[in-house]
Amino acid sequence: MDCTVFFMASFLAPITLGLPAFIVDGRKADIYLVFNLSLITIIYLLGTILYFESKEKIVHVILVKNSILGEFYGLIVDPYSITVGLVVLSCGILFLVYSIDYLSKDNRLHPVRRGKGRFYGWMLLFMGSTLAFLHASTLIEALIFFELMSLSCWGVISYYGSARDIISANKALLYTHVGAVLGLYLASFLSLYYIGDTSLFSLSNLPAYAKTELLLLVMVASLAKSAQFPFYSWLLDAMVAPTPASAFLHGAAMIEMGVYLLGRIAQFINATSPIVLYVLVLLMVITCIICMLMYPLQVNAKRFLAYSTIGEAMIMYIGVVYALAGSSIGLKATIAYLVNHAFIKGLGFLIVGVFEYTYGTHNMRHISNLILKSKLLSMGWFTSIIGLSGAPPFSLFFGKMLILASVTSVETLLYLIPVFAMIVYSCVFFIVGISWVNRMIFSECEEENLAVVTKIPTLMKYSIISLIVFSLTSHFLFYNMISQITIYGGLTS
Amino acid sequence: MSGAVNSRILKVAFSSLTVVVLTLVSLIMYVNNIELDIHGIVLRVDSMSLPFILNIGIVGIAAIISSYEYLRLYDGKNIKLPYYFFLLLFVTSMMMIPMLRNWLVFIFFWEVMTLMSYLLVIYDYKDAKILSIGRNYFILMHVFSTSCLLLLFMMVNYFSGTYDFTYYNEFSTVLLCLGLIGFGIKAGLFPLHFWLPQVHPVAPSPISALLSGSMVKLGIYGLARLLVLLKAEIPSWFFYALTLTALINVIMAFIMYPLQKDIKRLFAWSTIDNIGWIMLLVAILTLRIEHAETIIGLYVLSHGLAKASVFILSGGMIYVYGTRNLNKVKGMVHSCKSLALLLVAAILALEGVPPFSLFLCKHDVVLNLLHVNMLLAVFMLVNWVLVFIIFLAIIHEYLFAEGKPEILRPLPRTISYTALALIIASTLAYPLLLMLIGAKP
C-alpha cells in the first residue's frame, strides 16, 4: 500500500478524532487522549516504515488539481519532512503524557479541576495541523495549516481563561496571522500570477526577480511564526500557556515551523538572491543582540527559556542562510539543530513545569539547593541549560558543529557574521545559564521555605527521564535521516 | 557504614581497573602500531601522543586510589555528586584526546573534559566561594577555549573540507592566533594563567593532581599537534610571542613563589613555571628542530608525575593537619615524618634534581635553547638554580623548622604509597619512555 495514505490518516485522525476530546473531561479525557496518541503513533510509524521500504527518495502525490489554482492539494514525503514529523510526534507524545499529571488539582501554581478535555482537544488539533503542514506540497495548503496552527496556538494560550491570557492569545494569533497575510497569502498570489500554480515543485520555474520577491514574502511569514525580530514579542506573552503546551510550542511546533517553511522553500526554489540574505542576516543579528541583552535580566524561568528559543531559532536560520547561499550542508545543519533543540528545550520546560507543580513558582530566585531535593530535577535542569548552550555531551553540540561545517561557500565576509553572532550568543547564554545552575542547584538560600524532598508524579517523572535520554542521544537516532536531506532545486515531479 | 565503605572500594576498584585497561590498550596500540576505527572515529597512538596518554593513565590511577581515603574529609557534608563517575569520565575523556585524529571528535571530548573538571572542582559545593570559583573557571574556559577552538575548527574545515587531521597550508596566522588563545588558556599561558592559582587550591587534592599534572598538558598537546599539522612556514612573530609569554610565565612564577603560604597555590604557581618551560620547547618546535616533540613528551611525562605526587601529598597534608597553610605545619618532620620526607622527595623531583627525570628534561631544554639563543639558555639555567634555592628555603623554613604541629588523623597508606609510586615513576620516566619511543623505527 502507498505510504501517503498513512501520512494523510496521521494528521486527519487528530484533527477529526481530536474534536470529541473537547466535550469529555477528567479520567475519560485522559483515556481518550492516550487512545488518540497511540493511534497517531502507529499510523505515522507505519507510514515511515513503508516510505523507507519503498526506497524512493521523494514521494509526491497530487490529490486535488484544477486549471485555476493548479495543484491545489498534495502530499510530499521525504527525509526532510519525516525527520521533523517524527520529532513533532515524539515530543508531542511526551509532552501530552506529561500534561496528564500536570493538569491536576495538586498543581500549586495552576490547579485544574475541569476542562482537561479542552486542552487535549486543542493540543491534538495543534499536532495534527503541524503534521499536515510538514507534508504540504503547495503554498496554499501550507497556508491553510499555517493558519490552523495559529488558531490552535490561540486555543492553548488562552486555556486558563483570565483576561491576560486572552489578550496574549489574541496577540499571538494577530502576529502570526499578519505574518501569514503579508507573507503566505501574497506569496501564493504571486506564484499563481506568474506560473498559475502554487506547487513547491513549480517554484523553480519562477522568473528570477519573482523568486526574490517570493523569498522575501515567505521570510516575513517565517519570521512571524518563529518569533524573530521584529515579531518576537508575542512569544514572551505566550508564556501564560500551560507549560506542556509551551514546551510543544517552543520545542517542536510553532517556532520551528517558521524555520521549516523557509528551509522548505529554499530546498525547492533553486535561487540565490543576495538581497534576501542581507535582510535575513541583519534581522538575525538584531534578534541575537536583543536576546543577549535580555538574558541577564530574566528571573522568570519561562521567560528565560522563551528568549533562549528566540535565539536558538536565530541559529537555525543560519543553516537556511547558508543553504540559500549554496551550501549543501546548510539544510542538514538546520534540521539537526531543530531536532536536537526540540528535546533539550522540551526538557527545560518540563522541569519548569515541575517547579510550578511542586513549588508553585517559576521564579528562579525562589528555587535553591535542588540537588538535595531531587536528583532528577537537578540533572534535568543542568542538562537543559548546559545542553542549550551547546556543550557536549548533549546533542545540540552536533547541530552547532554542523552549522559551523556548513560555512563552505563564503564569498563575502558578511556571511561569516551569523557564525560569530552564534558563538557570542552561546557564550552569553552559557554565562547566564551557568550562574543560574550554580544558584539553583548547588547553593543554599537563607529564606528556605520549600519542601525538602520533592515528589514528582510518575508520568511527569518518566517523561523527564526519557527526554534526558533523548537529549543525549537524539543526534545519533536521527543522524541517518538527517544525512539524507538534499536540496531539490530545479527538480520536477 | 561498612556497606558504604564496601561500595566505595568497589567504585575505586572498578574505576582504577578501567583506567589500567585503557592505558594498557593504548600501550599495545602504540607498540604494535594498531589503528582502531570505530564507526569512522579513528584512534591511533603515535610517539607524540604516547607520553600524554601514559601521563594521564598513571596520574589517573593514582588520583582514583588516593581519593579513597581523601574523600573521608567530606563524609559529614552530605554531598550528592557522584565523584567516581565524574572522575572516571574525566580521565577517560582526557585519555581519548591524544588518540583522536579528527577535530570534531576532539572538541567533543575536550568539552566533556572541561565539564567534568568543573563538576569535580565544585565537588565541595556547600562552600559558596568554591562554587563561584568553579563557575568562573567554567565560564572562562567556555568563552576563551571553546569559542576559539570552534572557530579554529570551522576554519580548518573550511580550508580543507574535512574535520580530519590533514596538513594545512593556508591562513596559518589566523589558525595560530586562535590556537594560541584556545589551547593557551587550558595550559595556563600568560596572560590567561590567572585561573590556575585560584582553581587548583579549591579542588579536592586528587583532582588538583589531575588538573595540574594532566589537563593543562593537553593544552600543550593541542598546540603542538596544530603546529605539526601546519605545513606552511610558521611566521616568526609566533616564535617570539610564544617565547615571550613563556618567559613571562617563568618570571612571574619566580616572583610569586616566596609570597605563597598556601601549599596548593605554591604548586599551582610551579605548574605555571613549568608550562613556561614546555612552551619554550613548543617555540623550539616551530623552528622545526629535530627531537623537539620527543623532549616535549619526556618533559610532560616527568613533570606530570612529579606534580601529581606533590598535589597528592598536599592532599595528605590537608588530611593529616586539616590545613593548607604552610605556617601552621612548621616542623612537620617532627610530627609526621613520612609525609615530610615524601614531600621533600617530591619537591626535589619537581625541581629537577638528579636522579629525578626532570633534571634530564630541563637539561635537554637548556641544551636545545643553546642552539637558538645563548642568553635565553643561560637565563633559564640561572632561573632553574634560583627556583631550586627558593624551594630549598621553603623546605627548611616549614618542613624542617622547630615546632611540632598537632596531628588530626594519621597519614593514610593509599596517599603515601601512591605518592611514593609516582615519585619512583617520575625517576624512571625518562629512560623508560625514551626506550619505548626509540624502540619503534
Query: Where do the domains of chain B lie?
Result: 2-439
R_g over Cα of chain B: 21
Name every chain A residue with its beta carbon within 8 A of the beta carbon of B127: none
Residue of A371, A404, A410 with shortest CB distance to B150: A404
- Please calculate the CA angle B104-B109-B115 and round it to the nearest 5 degrees: 125
Q: List, as ranges, residues 352-371 from A with C-beta within 8 Å of B.
A: 371
**Distance from C-alpha of A336 to C-alpha of A232, rounded to nearest angstrom:** 23
**Distance from C-alpha of A199 to C-alpha of A188, rounded to nearest angstrom:** 9
Residue of B80, B104, B139 with shortest CB distance to A371: B80
Smallest CA-to-CA distance from B353 within B397, B302, B399 is with: B302
Interchain pair B142, A430: CB under 8 A: yes
Name every chain B residue with its beta carbon within 8 A of the beta carbon of A386: 115
pLDDT tens profile B70-85: 888 888 777 888 889 9
What b/e string do you get for A156-182 counting C-beta neighbours within 10 Å, with b at 16 or more? bbbbbeeeebeebbebbbebbbebbee
Q: Is the pLDDT of residue A451 over 60?
A: no
CA A276 to chain B, closest CA, distance in angstroms equals 24
DSSP assignments along A204-220, one per residue: GGS-HHHHHHHHHHHHH
Specify whether the backbone of A485 is left (phi greater than 0), alpha (psi in -120 to 50) or beta.
Answer: beta
What is the distance, to the nearest Å, from the Cα of residue A291 to the centroid of all Cα atoms in its chain? Answer: 18
| Partners of A70 in beta bridges | A66
Smallest CA-to-CA distance from A442 within B79, B88, B111 is with: B79
Residue of B111, B125, B154 with shortest CB distance to A391: B111
**Distance from C-alpha of B260 to C-alpha of B106, rounded to nearest angstrom:** 36
Computed from CA positions of residues A390, A392, A394, A395, in that sequence, does the dihedral angle turn out positive or negative? positive
Among B102, B157, B174, the residue to mutate for chain A (most A Cβ within 10 A): B157
Residues in chain A: 493
A297, exposed or middle or buried, with CB in 10 Å at 0-12, 13-18, 19+?
A: exposed
What b/e string do you get for B275-306 counting C-beta neighbours within 10 Å, with b at 16 or more? bbbbbbbbbbbbeeeeebbbbbbbbbbbbbbb
**Distance from C-alpha of A75 to C-alpha of A79, rounded to nearest angstrom:** 13
Interchain pair B111, A397: CB under 8 A: yes
Searching chain B, which residue's CA lies closest to the CA of residue A430? B139
pLDDT tens profile A324-334: 887 888 889 99
Residue of B132, B138, B154 with shortest CB distance to A407: B154
Compute the average pLDDT of residues A149-164.
Answer: 90
**Distance from C-alpha of B312 to C-alpha of B63, rounded to nearest angstrom:** 8
Compute the average pLDDT of residues B283-293.
Answer: 81
pLDDT of B441 reads 38
Name every chain A residue with its beta carbon within 8 A of the beta carbon of B80: 371-372, 375
Whether chain B has a CB inside 8 Å of the CB on A426: the answer is yes
Beta strands in B122-199 (DSSP E): none
Is A153 within 8 Å of A254 (Cβ atoms)?
yes
Interchain pair A438, B132: CB under 8 A: yes
Q: Can you give the pTM of this predicted structure?
A: 0.91
Residue of A423, A434, A443 with shortest CB distance to B139: A434
Smallest CA-to-CA distance from B210 within B143, B271, B295 is with: B271
Name every chain B residue with its beta carbon within 8 A of the beta carbon of A408: 158, 161
Interchain pair A410, B158: CB under 8 A: yes
Q: Is the pLDDT of residue A491 over 60?
A: no
Interchain pair A405, B111: CB under 8 A: no
DSSP assignments along A263-304, one per residue: HHHHHHH----HHHHHHHHHHHHHHHHHHHHHGGG--BHHHH
- Tell me the backbone φ, ψ of residue A280, rounded to 5 degrees: -65, -45
Among B116, B154, B178, the residue to mutate for chain A (most A Cβ within 10 A): B154
| Residue ranges of chain B whose CB lies within 8 Å of a chain A CB | 78, 80-81, 104, 107-109, 111-112, 114-115, 122, 125-126, 128, 131-132, 134-135, 138-139, 142-143, 146-147, 150-151, 153-154, 157-158, 161, 163
B292-321 vs B263-286: helix crossing angle, rounded to 10: 180
pLDDT of A1 reads 54
Name every chain A residue with its beta carbon within 8 A of the beta carbon of B174: none
Residue A30, C-beta contacts closer than 8 angstroms, at least 6 positions apart: A100, A116
CA B158 to chain A, closest CA, distance in angstroms equals 6
Is B103 within 8 Å of B179 (Cβ atoms)?
no
pLDDT of B92 reads 93
Whether chain B has a CB inside 8 Å of the CB on A392: the answer is yes
**Distance from C-alpha of A466 to C-alpha of B417, rounded to nearest angstrom:** 44
Provide the 3-class DSSP secondary structure of residue A25.
Answer: coil
**Distance from C-alpha of B384 to C-alpha of B173, rounded to nearest angstrom:** 33
pLDDT tens profile A93-113: 999 999 998 888 888 888 888
pLDDT tens profile B302-318: 999 999 999 999 999 99
pLDDT tens profile B209-261: 999 989 999 999 998 888 888 877 778 888 888 899 999 999 999 998 888 88
A215, exposed or middle or buried, with CB in 10 Å at 0-12, 13-18, 19+?
A: buried
Interchain pair A392, B112: CB under 8 A: yes
pLDDT of B88 reads 93
Q: Could you give the ipTM of this predicted complex?
A: 0.88
Searching chain B, which residue's CA lies closest to the CA of residue A404? B154
- Cell numbers describing residue B427: 625517576
- Tell me the backbone φ, ψ of residue A197, rounded to 5 degrees: -155, 145
CA A80 to chain B, closest CA, distance in angstroms equals 24
**Distance from C-alpha of A226 to C-alpha of A315, rounded to nearest angstrom:** 12
Mean pLDDT of chain B: 87
Interchain pair B142, A442: CB under 8 A: no
The H-assigned helical ranges of B71-126 are 83-96, 103-121
Computed from CA positions of residues A420, A423, A425, A428, in that sequence, does the dihedral angle turn out positive or negative? negative
